[in-house]
Homo-oligomer: A and B are copies of this chain.
Amino acid sequence: MEWTRESRYKKYSEWDAETLLKLQAQATASKYQMSYHIRPQSGLLNDPNGFSYFNDEYHVFYQSYPFGAVHGLKSWVHLTSPDLVHWKNLGLAINADTKYDSHGAYSGSARVIDDKLFLMYTGNHRSKEWVRYPYQIGAIMDKDNNITKLDKPMIEPVDHITEHFRDPQLLKHRDEYFVILGAQDAETKTGKISLFRSKDLKNWQDLGYLDFTEEEMGYMVECPNLVFVDDQPVLIFCPQGLDKKVADYENIYPNMYIVGSDVRLDKAKFNTDQKAPLNLDDGFDVYATQAFNAPNGKAYAISWIGLPDISYPTDSENWANCLSQVKELSIVDGELYQRPVPSMASLREEGTLVRSEEVFDGQQIVHSAASKHYELKLDLAAGQNGKLFLAANKDLSQGIEINFSTADDAFLTVDRSKAGIPFAEDYGTTRTIALPANKQLSLDIFVDGSVCEIFVNNGRHTLTLRFFAPDGNNKIAFTSDKKLQYTGTYWNMKNI
């Protein structure tokens, strides 16, 4: 169907239920579907929202448009989990049903306050003349997961910020509440992180912008997220239109981070020794990552696997995107690490040991017919060059190609140009990271339908990508000039 402004913003109550049931069945039946990642029941999923721990379980919400693979009238869908791995989809949680969120219940955060989960999100309102008014809205969720929106917005539009003013993260810092928000400065039309302060969650003081960089952050910053990792403040955000001289990236919009030395929100100051923002994920498809500090002392992150303004092959199946697995954050020798949570191991079926096979027809076969849903851990000895193929056909002319060296000029390149249906090619088909010279390389690779998450060297890097392989491309194999030395384990993964 042709999507118009009118159809995209049609109320859910004006869609018919048969259409929805068919869209749900269509999404579920897709051969590209994930089985252990959070995915939309139908339609489009984007940002994770309200990632938190409350009432003895983890909560996450996602931005949902149930009626197609377009950014239409958004709502929040709610999921809960005991272990950050097994998620239960509780369905529609925040609908666009008030004046202040009439054109979408946009992204936001959650924070436990007293015995409730306090949600704060951006209500997207458009006037008849289609002028956008962003309202920052509060809502309170009780222990039965009932959500009540506050009558009035917590923060109204402000003069010094354009209509691009969204994605509030509610924080508590030195006994006061703060909100950081993505913003576009009205005068300079540059990307900013807006900052507000309150003692009572009612009266909010505009503190202007957070000072976290000397550089211009493009024309907009989305999804700012402050989290403490091993006691260091880490600022995660999505600058749009960022000059690549400021920080290198290849995706249409990057999801970046800065590790800070200290932060004083009351002084609007985030100090860092880091020269420039870095990509949170070195792959193709991570955006809008949300992280929070859990009561167990750990910092957890979850990402949208998908990017704004990119068409994905499942658009034709009327669904799009998924969330990443949850990643545990840590800082080791000043570097941010992202690791799978330990509970991910509970998804493993019985493992198969992987050892250096003999070279046959130029290949060392790891698995001749892998499942669509697996984990593969590999340790590759130092001093080698080769290629690892995932989701490959028999002669390896198709597949995800992971080119690597563990010798002097050590690197890893993921090439998805021959992985299947092409998409987002304007932004390149390879991603490369440098590796430490002459060291063993450890890979922890998660494949789930059309998603691949690669954890490099115990989480020092992650590379995330979507791929849409032809049926039957299920081979895993190495090629090299000479026999490669490696060990590892392969597990089929259970559904969540």
Binding site for B on A (CB under 8 A): 11-22, 24-25, 28-29, 66-67, 78, 86, 88-93, 95, 144-145, 494-495
How far is it, in angstroms, between the C-alpha of A127 and the C-alpha of B180 when the chains are bound? 63
Contact in complex: A15, B14 (CB < 8 Å)? no
B29–A90 CB distance below 8 A: yes
Question: A90 contacts which chain B residues (CB < 8 A)?
Answer: 25, 28-29
* Closest Cβ neighbor of A91 among chain B residues: B25
Whole-angstrom distance between the alpha carbons of A412 and B29 in the complex?
A: 45
Judge whether A28 and B91 touch: CB under 8 Å.
Answer: yes
**Across the interface, which residues of B come within 8 angstroms of A89, CB to CB?**
28
Q: How far is the CA of A66 from the CA of B66 in the complex (A)?
A: 17
Chain B min CB distance to A382 (Å)? 40
Copies of this protein, total: 2
Instruction: Please indicate the chain B residues that have their CB under 8 angstroms from the CB of A16 in the complex.
Output: 12-17
Q: 11 A–B contact pairs at CB < 8 A?
A: A11-B18, A12-B16, A14-B16, A15-B17, A17-B67, A21-B91, A21-B92, A24-B92, A25-B91, A25-B92, A25-B93
Residues of B within 8 A of A21 (CB): 12, 20, 66, 91-92
Most chain B CB neighbours (cut-off 10 Å) among A15, A17, A24? A17
A13 with B20: CB separation less than 8 A: no
Whole-angstrom distance between the Cβ of A105 and the nearest chain B Cβ: 13
Q: How far is the CA of A12 from the CA of B91 in the complex (A)?
A: 19
CA distance A86 to B492 in the complex (A): 15
Further contacts, 14 of them, CB under 8 A, given A25-B92, A86-B494, A88-B495: A11-B18, A13-B16, A15-B18, A16-B16, A16-B17, A17-B17, A17-B66, A17-B67, A18-B92, A24-B92, A25-B93, A29-B90, A29-B91, A29-B144
Given the complex, which residues of B lie within 8 Å of A25, measured CB to CB? Answer: 78, 90-93
A73 CB to closest chain B CB (Å) equals 11
Q: Is the CB of B22 within 8 A of A18?
A: no
Contacts of A494 in B (CB 8 A): 86
For A95, give its contact among B18, B28, B92 (CB under 8 Å). B18
Q: Which B residues are in CB contact (< 8 Å) with A19?
A: 13, 17
Please provide the 5 A-B residue pairs with the shortest distance between their CB atoms, ordered closest to farther.
A25-B91, A12-B18, A15-B17, A13-B18, A17-B20
Among B12, B78, B86, B91, contact of A17 (Cβ-Cβ < 8 Å)? B12
Question: Separation in Å of the A449 CB from the closest CB of chain B?
Answer: 13
Give the residue name and chain of the B residue nearest to A33 (CB).
Answer: B88
A426 and B206 alpha carbons, distance in the complex (Å): 66
Closest chain B residue, CB of each to CB of A67: B17
Q: Which B residue sits closest to A41, measured CB to CB?
A: B24
Shortest beta-carbon distance, A412 to chain B, in Å? 34
**Which residue of the partner chain B has the closest CB to A144?**
B29
Q: Are B15 and A86 in contact (CB under 8 A)?
A: no
Residues of B within 8 A of A92 (CB): 18, 21-22, 24-25
Tell me the minimal C-beta distance from A149 to chain B in angstroms: 16
Cβ contacts under 8 Å, A145 to chain B: 29
Give the distance in Å from the alpha carbon of A339 to the alpha carbon of B17 in the complex: 39
Give chain B residues whose Cβ lies under 8 Å from the Cβ of A24. 91-92
* Closest Cβ neighbor of A495 among chain B residues: B86
Query: What's the minimum C-beta distance from A373 to chain B, rounded to whole angstroms?
Result: 12
CB distance from A83 to the nearest CB of B (A): 11
> From residue A89, how far is it (CB to closest CB) to chain B in Å?
7
Chain B residues within an 8 Å CB radius of A144? 29
Query: How distant is A11 from chain B, measured CB to nearest CB, in Å?
Result: 7
Shortest A355–chain B CB gap in Å is: 28
List the B residue with the shortest CB-CB distance to A15.
Answer: B17
Q: What's the minimum C-beta distance from A235 to chain B, rounded to whole angstroms?
A: 34
Instruction: Pick from A18, A25, A92, A145 the residue with the most CB of B within 10 Å.
Output: A18
Specify which chain B residues have a CB less than 8 angstroms from the CB of A78 in the assembled complex: 25
Residues of chain B with a CB closer than 8 A to A95's CB? 18
Chain B CB count within 10 A is highest, among A14, A29, A90, A95, for A29
A35 CB → nearest B CB, Å? 8
Cα distance, A83 to B465, chains bound together (Å): 31
In the complex the two chains form, what is the Cα distance from A495 to B83 in whole Å? 13
**In the complex, what residues of B have CB within 8 A of residue A28's CB?**
88-91
